[in-house]
């Protein structure tokens, strides 16, 4: 099959033609399921949570459908009717073979750099794809050659972007060849984590009116910073309680002993014999499956791993969905897109040191300030859910149109 001229030029400029043919695709033993199949191509990991939530919405709306997500990594086990395959090799022959094998009924690229090979291959197969919140700036060849960007983006059914700035850039790049629409950012899911309501009521009675903050999934390297921040915040609220959820619950006893011996705290351990008393300053919550309880009790949550670790170890929408104001460090990890959307809405507080963390906790002990962050986060969550529903609807419309075609 002859390549479109624009794609041939792109491949030449990016030196993607290979001696001896294309690189082999990774093996994938899965079979295509029967019924409608939507393909979500996710080139970069930070948009994977939003893509998975979009996939969930699609299969909820259309019980007979399956969603294939191509991504480098994927949560295990995959949700029901959602399949994971490795990213296909960005080569026209390999991409065409991938499409011939899976035969999707609708396609979308979610985030990541604009992939001309994927977009052109999908359009050639009769699947004009959606391009959802692509990464900008675009790859150099598309930025440098207006004719090339117009040709590539002309293969797209619709481009959905989070704001007017991105829309202006992509309208200019497409030269009117593509429909660009401002819809906001995809949501990452806001399903509230469950908790035992009787346990929550009992714990709330025990804590009574004590001010509380939560540090969740804290790696041991961050313990000194969290301890320093707690000590600083205690100067503003002497009855302040820190609920500390360690990254490794098995280390709970050792962490509790260290905080008591080295830091001088009065410590209680959830998975131990000591009860939570009025004089307890740190409560080590080292049990599994109780994050929903702690988020409900604590009006302030620090996301561990974001100061000295690889990035936030829990999704920021988890505490936000339960009304807890979110504090995080500069390392976003896999949750960069979520934190960016929350930051734009002034729905989170970023800190860069133990001193700033202590100041932020102290400031958010004021109920009105914590409530403002929580309200803004709820608004982002609600808008993201609406965007996800809208994109799911467009993809299912494409499925229906393909099935109705002669």
Residue-wise DSSP of 139-152: PHHHHH-HHHHHHH
Question: Quick one: pLDDT band at residue 27, thresholds 50, 70, 90?
Answer: very low
Please work out, in degrees rounded to the nearest 5, the angle formed at the alpha carbon of residue 185 by the alpha carbons of 47 and 126: 70
- pTM of the predicted model as reported, rounded to 2 decimal places: 0.69
Span 32-42, pLDDT tens digits:
999 999 999 99
The bridge status of strand 282-284 relative to strand 180-182 is unpaired
Q: Which residue has 């972007």 as its token pair?
A: 161
Residue 216 pLDDT exceeds 90: yes
Average pLDDT, the chain: 87
Per the CB < 8 A criterion, the answer to whether 403 and 105 are in contact is yes
Span 319-365, pLDDT tens digits:
988 889 999 999 998 888 788 888 988 999 999 999 999 999 999 99
Show the DSSP H helices in 34-91 as ranges.
48-61
Cα separation of 143 and 162, whole Å?
Answer: 20
% of the chain beyond a pLDDT of 70 = 91
Q: Compute the half-sphere exposure of residue 379: CA atoms within 13 Å on the CB side of its CA.
A: 13
Residue 192 pLDDT exceeds 80: no
Question: Quick one: pLDDT band at residue 246, thresholds 50, 70, 90?
Answer: very high
Span 266-324, pLDDT tens digits:
999 999 766 888 899 999 999 999 999 999 999 999 999 999 999 999 989 889 888 89
Q: Compute the half-sphere exposure of residue 403: CA atoms within 13 Å on the CB side of its CA.
A: 14
| DSSP symbol at 77 | S
Cα separation of 9 and 16, whole Å?
Answer: 10
Rg (CA), the chain: 24
Span 72-97, pLDDT tens digits:
888 777 788 999 998 888 788 888 99
Cα separation of 291 and 273, whole Å?
Answer: 20
- DSSP element (H, E) containing 210: none
Per the CB < 8 A criterion, the answer to whether 174 and 157 are in contact is no
Q: Which residues on neighbouring strands pair with residue 284, listed in sequence order? A: 244, 269
Question: How many beta carbons lie within 10 A of that of residue 396, not counting itself?
Answer: 19
Per the CB < 8 A criterion, the answer to whether 215 and 242 are in contact is yes
% of the chain beyond a pLDDT of 90 = 56
Cα separation of 69 and 120, whole Å?
Answer: 18
* CATH number, span 5-18+35-184: 3.40.50.11720
Q: Which CATH class is domain 197-383?
A: alpha beta
Closest CA to 209 of 240, 180, 184: 240
Give the residue extent of every domain in the chain. Answer: 5-18+35-184, 197-383
Q: Is the fold of 5-18+35-184 the same as that of 197-383?
A: yes
Span 133-165, pLDDT tens digits:
998 888 777 777 777 888 888 889 999 998 899
Residue 9 pLDDT exceeds 70: no
Region label for 289, one of left (φ > 0), alpha (ψ between -120 and 50) or beta (otherwise):
left
Per the CB < 8 A criterion, the answer to whether 300 and 327 are in contact is yes
Cα separation of 269 and 286, whole Å?
Answer: 7
Higher pLDDT: 181 or 5? It is: 181
Closest CA to 89 of 61, 47, 124, 121: 121
Residue 106 pLDDT exceeds 70: yes
Residue 24 pLDDT exceeds 50: no
| DSSP symbol at 26 | P
């Amino acid at each position: 099959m002859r390549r479109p001229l624009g794609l041939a030029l792109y491949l030449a400029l990016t030196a993607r033609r290979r001696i001896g043919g294309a690189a082999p695709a990774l093996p994938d033993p899965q079979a295509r399921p029967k019924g409608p199949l939507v393909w979500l191509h996710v080139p970069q990991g930070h948009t994977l949570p939003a893509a998975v939530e979009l996939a969930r919405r699609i299969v909820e709306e259309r019980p007979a459908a399956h969603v294939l997500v191509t991504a480098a990594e994927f949560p295990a086990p995959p949700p029901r009717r959602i399949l994971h395959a490795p990213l296909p090799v960005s080569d026209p022959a390999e991409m065409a073979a991938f499409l011939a094998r899976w035969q999707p009924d609708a396609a979308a690229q979610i985030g990541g750099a604009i992939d001309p090979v994927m977009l052109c291959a999908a359009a050639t197969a009769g699947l004009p794809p959606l391009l959802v919140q692509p990464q900008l700036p675009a790859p150099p060849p598309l930025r440098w050659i207006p004719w090339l960007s117009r040709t590539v983006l002309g293969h797209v059914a619709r481009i959905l972007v989070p704001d007017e700035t991105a829309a202006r850039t992509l309208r200019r790049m497409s030269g009117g060849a593509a429909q660009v629409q401002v819809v906001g950012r995809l949501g990452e899911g806001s399903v509230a984590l469950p908790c035992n309501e009787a346990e929550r009521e009992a714990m709330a009675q025990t804590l009574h009116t004590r001010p509380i903050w939560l540090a969740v999934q804290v790696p041991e390297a961050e313990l000194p910073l969290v301890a320093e921040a707690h000590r600083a915040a205690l100067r503003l609220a002497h009855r302040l309680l820190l609920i500390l959820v360690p990254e490794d619950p098995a280390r709970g006893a050792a962490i509790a002993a260290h905080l008591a011996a080295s830091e001088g705290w009065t410590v209680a351990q959830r998975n131990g014999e000591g009860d939570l008393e009025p004089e307890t300053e740190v409560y080590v919550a080292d049990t599994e499956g109780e994050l929903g309880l702690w988020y409900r009790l604590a009006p302030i949550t620090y996301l561990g791993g974001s100061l000295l670790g690889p990035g936030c170890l829990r999704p920021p929408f988890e505490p936000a969905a339960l009304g807890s104001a979110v504090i995080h460090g500069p390392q976003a990890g896999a949750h960069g897109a979520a934190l960016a959307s929350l930051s734009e809405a002034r729905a989170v507080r970023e800190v860069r040191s133990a001193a700033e963390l202590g100041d932020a906790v102290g400031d958010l002990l004021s109920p009105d300030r914590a409530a403002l962050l929580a309200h803004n986060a709820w608004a982002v969550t609600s808008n993201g859910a609406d965007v996800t529903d809208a994109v799911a609807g467009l993809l299912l419309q494409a499925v229906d149109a393909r099935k109705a075609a002669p």
